[in-house]
Amino acid sequence: MRRIGNTPILKEKEIKSLFDNPKKVSSDSFVIFYKNSNERKIAFTVKRKDYKNIVMRNKMKRILKSLFLTNEKIFPDNYNYIFIANKNILNKNFDQLENELFNVITKLK
C-alpha cells in the first residue's frame, strides 16, 4: 500500500465515499474535507479545471504533501482527509502555510 510518511493514501472508492456528506474546514490556501474512519488515510488534489498546467498542479500537491509530512503527528487518527489546494498556496512561504494548518487543525479537534 502506498503511503505518505506513515499514513496510507486513500483509494478511489474511499475518495468517492468521503465526498458523501463530508465535513469541511478551509483556509486561504487549501481546503480539507474529512470524515470519520477507523484509521487515518489521506489524499491530495488540485482542481484541473482551475489549473490547466500540470507542472503547477504537481507543485501545489508537493507543497501540501510536505506540509502534511512535517506535521503528520498533529492530525487526529480517526479521520480520512482530502486536501485541495488553492492558487494562494504558491504565494506563501512554508511558515505561513504551517500557521494556516495549525488554525485549521484546531477547528478539526
In order of start, what are the domains of the chain with their CATH numbers? 3-108 (3.30.230.10)
Predicted TM-score (pTM) of the model is 0.90
51-84 pLDDT per residue, tens: 888 999 999 999 999 999 999 999 988 999 999 9
Q: Do residues 9 and 2 make contact, with C-beta atoms less than 8 angstroms apart?
A: yes
For cell 483556509, what's the residue? 27
Judge whether residue 33 has pLDDT over 90: yes
Judge whether residue 50 has pLDDT over 90: no
pLDDT (0 to 100) of residue 31: 95
pLDDT (0 to 100) of residue 21: 86
pLDDT (0 to 100) of residue 62: 95
Judge whether residue 107 has pLDDT over 90: no
Lowest-confidence region among 21-25, 51-55, 105-109: 105-109
Judge whether residue 10 has pLDDT over 90: yes
What are the distances in angstroms from CA 40 to CA 9, 13, 34, 57, 109?
9, 15, 10, 24, 14
Interacting residues of 75 by C-beta distance below 8 A, sequence separation 6+:
7, 40, 68, 81, 105, 108
pLDDT (0 to 100) of residue 57: 92
